[in-house]
Structure 1
């Protein structure tokens, strides 16, 4: 009987080893390979995402543009007006003030923190070691019935109210397909400070040899509501008009 118990335990260990023996580095390698490969990702010079966002039943068309040179823009059409958010022209970070609908520059701290994210296009896990980022496998967790690897990503520190803090986020990778289905990050400023923002990724589709999530649901973890972003089209490596990112100086 004792021999049978030993054999059973040995077989059990063999069965679970492929999952538990995964390292954070191996998971990242598998992820990048499964979405199209690092070479294809490095060949991206620009990406334009077109879609719509659901604000509690109000559907708004949106457009997001980003380039490897650091230019970035998100805009939405709101009741006949164009609302800009997180627009960066290489020097100035700006957006539309929700109260006045006028263009407004971000402060120096927000701009400096935003510049750190430029290194993350087209993917934060590309060359993460060279960028000084660290990844850690926290363990296996079941997320909405899916077995996942929970990966902790620590990027460059950011400044909040003059204090330097770690920029930490958690990615939950599908253990079968090695793609993230959830990302979580604690809010470090604003009214939601201390809460955890959660983005759920789904509907991965192929574009130009790479796979992107065409559905992203963003909200506060364990709270109802949120915003559903549905991507309808992705254009890669198109020529980008730099003037669209420029801050509209007042006359």
Structure 2
């Protein structure tokens, strides 16, 4: 009898362990948020809402178009500024001192080719050349999560290719990512952890679910939060929206 019980618990434990694979966590995520077919049908997206930065609330519009065009426009005191925009090959921003558009360094534009992808990084991740690894569980702000390591294409830093890794934390109960963690590669925050928290998932046009609140923290300090009012999918967006303005 004891041998049978031992065998039973061994088999049960094996089944539980087998259930906790990276692909199964990812499959549950897409099933929970509309299904892979609906995600793959998204070719463009427009999101409107507000960004809160250093106590200021700024109207925000974000545009994305497959495969990797993107533009974020914020408004402050009646003036609009772009932070950032990518046309598929070249990135640019509005210089907040001169309020004039400036192209990114060639290295930053090259990195944007992968970073600006509209398609969810976990969708067909192997075809993108990415790798995923499930690294057990971790509790994030009281929520038990699956910890997933995502390795994307290398990023260029000062002329050298560096590993491009992010950790995503999928709620065990809800099957959606509630936080991601990376290490800043450039700028004043270089070398410090950057955490992005996602919450308030709601269904949007196209039948997928998106987080309506996104908060970014550096070293535990809140740097910016976005509260979206509306997402629109498969809207017509002219490529000219992403082009660097003619001087």
Report the TM-score, using the length of structure 2 for normalisation. 0.92
For 2:197 and 2:203, how far apart are their aligned partners in 1? 18
SS in 1 for 2:132: strand
Match for 2:38 among 31, 37, 40? 40
**Superposition RMSD in Å:** 2.2
SS in 1 for 2:222: coil
Pair 1:98-2:96 in alignment = yes
Q: Which residue of 1 aligns with 2:189?
A: 192
Residue range with higher mean Cα deviation, 36-45 or 13-22: 13-22
Pair 1:53-2:51 in alignment = yes
Q: CA distance change for structure 1 residues 142 and 13 in 2, over 3 Å: closer, same or farther? A: farther
Residue range with higher mean Cα deviation, 236-245 or 158-167: 236-245
Gaps of at least 5 residues in structure 1 are: none
SS in 2 for 1:243: helix
Tell me the matched-pair count.
246
Task: Quote how far apart the aligned CAs of 1:20 are.
Answer: 7.3
For 1:214 and 1:9, how far apart are their aligned partners in 2? 47
1:29-178 map, 5 Å: 29-118=27-116, 120-178=117-175
Task: Quote how far apart the aligned CAs of 1:38 are.
Answer: 1.1
Task: Quote how far apart the aligned CAs of 1:90 are.
Answer: 2.7
SS in 1 for 2:75: strand
For 1:203 and 1:12, how far apart are their aligned partners in 2? 39
Q: Is the 8 A contact 2:67 2:118 kept in 1?
A: no
For 2:14 and 2:188, how far apart are their aligned partners in 1? 43
For 1:15 and 1:58, how far apart are their aligned partners in 2? 51
For 2:228 and 2:17, how far apart are their aligned partners in 1? 32
Task: Quote how far apart the aligned CAs of 1:56 are.
Answer: 2.8
Report the TM-score, using the length of structure 1 for normalisation. 0.91
For 1:10 and 1:226, how far apart are their aligned partners in 2? 51
Q: Which residue of 2 aligns with 1:238?
A: 235
For 2:173 and 2:9, how far apart are their aligned partners in 1? 21
Q: CA distance change for structure 1 residues 114 and 179 in 2, over 3 Å: closer, same or farther? A: same
For 1:231 and 1:12, how far apart are their aligned partners in 2? 47
Task: Quote how far apart the aligned CAs of 1:81 are.
Answer: 0.7
Pair 1:217-2:215 in alignment = yes
For 2:14 and 2:200, how far apart are their aligned partners in 1? 28
